[in-house]
Amino acid sequence: MQIYEAFPVPIGISNIEDIPTKEHQQLFDLEFYTKQDYDMVVTREKYVLSKYAPTIKKFIEETLCEYSQKTLGTKQKLRITQSWCTKHDSIKQ
């Protein structure tokens, strides 16, 4: 993991090698709606990692553990409380 000092919070960047095709497709197939307050398209489901993407969730949890050790100096685990997907239009130039 690479850690970047971006005041005031360090940013960690990691890459997942292979996202399982089944999990990836399940996330794309979820029901989305436009959240008017933020003008964004989000899933109605607020626990997508637990229900549809266990491999991705495991990767994120392991990465959070590494992040908390490197940046916070603790072995106390950070935990995911909710997870959802957002969709964005591509900008064409």
Q: What is the pLDDT along the chain (93 residues), one digit of tens a residue?
A: 888 877 777 888 999 988 899 999 999 999 999 988 888 899 999 999 999 999 999 999 999 999 999 988 998 888 899 999 998 776 554
State the sign of the Cα–Cα–Cα–Cα dihedral 16, 28, 33, 55. negative
Give the max Cα distance, the chain. Answer: 46
pLDDT at residue number 19: 86
pTM beyond 0.85: the answer is no
Number of H helices, E strands in the chain: 3, 5
